[in-house]
């Protein structure tokens, strides 16, 4: 049986997956959010063959990443397995264990909703649920998904700090770059844009 990667390497990978999941979420929300979309929709329509797929691709990538981080199965990098392994090996202080358990409890409902989307739409396509039915079944909001990334980062940071690594933060630069890209595209034909 193949040996597991070293715990530190798996912790680093999990933290990286959390940060990436938030990047995918932030870019998706920028393109699709009620607060941002009205100001950029005309530009997105001008480049329709790109923008009709790109926001969806970011959302799919987000859901697949965040759901994988909260699944409970063995054999892959996920927050639950890492936390369990560190508890059993006494690699994390007992107070941190209590806090990590509380964070998992806080994440439970939203994580299960992300897993519904991943398992019925994106990683697998259900033959029993339509696309709309899967979203109705998940009944998850963008704010719940954003909050799930916040909790995931807190969970990932606890064992990292216990192992002597620096804590991770979310990277706002990809969203900033998406905003700059849309502004540059708007300047190509500013008369067609709505006022921001």
**Average pLDDT of each block of 10 consecutive residues along the chain (196 residues)?**
88 97 98 96 95 96 96 89 93 92 96 94 86 90 97 96 95 97 84 49
Interval 82-138: pLDDT, tens: 999 999 999 999 999 999 999 999 999 999 999 999 999 888 888 888 888 888 999
Burial class (CB in 10 A: 0-12, 13-18, 19+), 138: buried
Q: What is the pLDDT of residue 1?
A: 66
Give the contacts of 61 (CB within 8 A, at least 6 positions apart).
20, 21, 24
Sign for the CA dihedral angle at 169, 173, 179, 182 comes to negative
Q: Output DSSP code: residue 138.
A: H
Q: What is the pLDDT of residue 190?
A: 55
Give the contacts of 58 (CB within 8 A, at least 6 positions apart).
24, 25, 27, 28, 31
Q: What is the pLDDT of residue 196?
A: 44
- What pTM did the predictor assign? 0.91
């Amino acid at each position: 049986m193949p040996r597991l990667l070293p715990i530190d390497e798996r912790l680093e990978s999990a933290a990286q997956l959390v940060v990436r999941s938030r990047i995918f979420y932030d870019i998706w929300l920028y393109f699709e959010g009620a607060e941002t979309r009205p100001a950029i929709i005309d530009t997105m329509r001008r480049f329709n063959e790109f923008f009709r797929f790109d926001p969806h691709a970011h959302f799919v990538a987000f859901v697949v990443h965040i759901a994988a981080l909260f699944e409970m199965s063995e054999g892959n990098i996920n927050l639950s397995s890492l936390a369990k392994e560190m508890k059993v090996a006494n690699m994390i202080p007992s107070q941190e264990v209590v806090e990590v358990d509380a964070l998992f409890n806080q994440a439970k409902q939203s994580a299960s909703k992300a897993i519904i989307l991943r398992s019925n739409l994106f990683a697998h396509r259900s033959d029993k649920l339509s696309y709309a039915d899967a979203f109705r079944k998940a009944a998850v909001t963008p704010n719940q998904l954003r909050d799930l990334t916040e909790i995931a980062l807190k969970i990932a940071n606890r064992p990292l700090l216990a192992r002597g690594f620096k804590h991770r933060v979310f990277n706002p630069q990809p969203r900033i770059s998406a905003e700059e890209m849309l502004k540059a595209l708007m300047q190509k034909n500013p008369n067609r844009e709505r006022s921001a």
